[in-house]
Amino acid sequence: MTIKDVAKKANVSTATVSRVINNKSEGITEEMRQHVQKVIDEMGYTPSHLARGMVTKKTYTIGLVIQDIRNPFFPKMVSGVEHVAYNHGYMVLLCNTDEDLNREKDYIATLREKRVDGIIITVSNGIDRAYIAQLTKGDIPFVFLDEIAEEVNCVCVDNTLGAYQATKHLIQLGHKHIACLSGPSTSITNLNRVDGYKKALMEAGLPINKDLILKGSYKADSGYKSAESILKDFPHVTALFCANDFNALGAYKAVVAHGKRVPEDISIVGFDDILDIPANHFAFTSVSQPTYEMGQAAATMLMDMIHKKPMNEPFMTFEPKLIVRDSTSSPL
């Protein structure tokens, strides 16, 4: 059933039908509108967004490229995006990359083919700079979420500050030997967190021992291994700053497996705050990110770009917040 069928049945032109389905207020009598609307309702006609998009060059659809919706870090972010998109009359195509760069490229290529009006992307660790540059040079508006991307519209959190807060918390508790279980060195986010860790130590006049800064990934097994080697090689260490909560979780397991207690023997701070469940007897101290708000901000920024509004700030930084819970205490 097409606009033609409706026009025929209502004895009007397709232009008139088009006017009513698009709520054009000018150039149509209320009488006419009601007449046509009635026919539309009777026939159960639904206009085709495809056909409309062909001529208007708008799809009212945006793409959201994320690593993995199963990672508890993302749902709130997605929700923030979805809410503002919905409020602007847009729908969101969910693209899960599983941290696979090929999938990411594939998804973005298809998003182009689908002529989405814009894309929000939380790039994988280890950004391919040239690739991103190529993306942004294109015709379709992009905003980067979570990970910093230079010279690009982007919303992220102040990772340096978060790590600084976390480490300072440990220092204030009285810890003097604090290890840093870092993530992938290709991740700017991670690098910033390491910087924050160093900054807090320096500020407190504590020495920065490179051997206490372990490289790893964002996965739990990396945290486990790193913690294990710290426990073995540096028994005087009493606190662990972890690049993210998965690392913290792995570290926790290693500490427990080695017969030590958290936080009595070893304090642990995580990052991202994704391990909190209300009513639990034990929860991690962690640096929380306002993920919902970040999602909202990214979507709002994208909407502004789509509607060619002058942008306030092409680069938006949110403040993280340290949440102190049960995995940290003063050293014995």
Partner DNA sequence: CTGAAAGCGCTAACAA
Partner DNA sequence: TTGTTAGCGCTTTCAG
Summarize as ranges the residues that interact with a copy of itself (CB under 8 A).
46-51, 53-54, 59, 61, 64, 68-70, 72, 74-76, 78-79, 82-83, 86, 91-96, 103, 107, 109-110, 112-115, 249, 252-253, 256, 275, 277-283
119 close to 93: Cβ distance less than 8 angstroms: no
**Smaller CB separation from a copy of itself, 148 or 227:** 227
176 close to 205: Cβ distance less than 8 angstroms: no
Rounded distance between C-alpha atoms, residue 63 and residue 65, angstroms? 6
**Smaller CB separation from a copy of itself, 72 or 314:** 72
Q: Is omega for the bond preceding 314 within 30 degrees of 0, making it cis? A: no
136 close to 118: Cβ distance less than 8 angstroms: no
Tell me how far CA of residue 225 lies from CA of 42, 72, 239, in angstroms.
Answer: 67, 23, 15
Residues 13-52 that bind DNA (CB under 7 A): 13-19, 21-22, 26-29, 31-32, 47-48, 50-52
Q: At what angle do helices 14-21 and 30-43 cross, to 10 degrees?
A: 90
Query: Least CB distance from residue 12 to DNA, whole Å?
Result: 3
Chosen residue from 9, 34, 38, 54 binding DNA by CB under 7 A: 54
**Residue 61 binds which of a copy of itself, DNA, none (CB < 5-8 A, kind-dependent):** a copy of itself
Query: Least CB distance from residue 132 to DNA, whole Å?
Result: 25
**Smaller CB separation from DNA, 60 or 234:** 60
**Residue 86 binds which of DNA, a copy of itself, none (CB < 5-8 A, kind-dependent):** a copy of itself
268 close to 254: Cβ distance less than 8 angstroms: no
And the tokens for 272? 């991202």
320 close to 162: Cβ distance less than 8 angstroms: yes
Query: Least CB distance from residue 54 to DNA, whole Å?
Result: 4
**Smaller CB separation from DNA, 35 or 103:** 35
Rounded distance between C-alpha atoms, residue 75 and residue 78, angstroms? 5
Does residue 139 interact with DNA by CB under 7 A? Answer: no
Residues that bind DNA (CB under 7 A): 2-4, 11-19, 21-22, 26-29, 31-32, 47-48, 50-52, 54-56
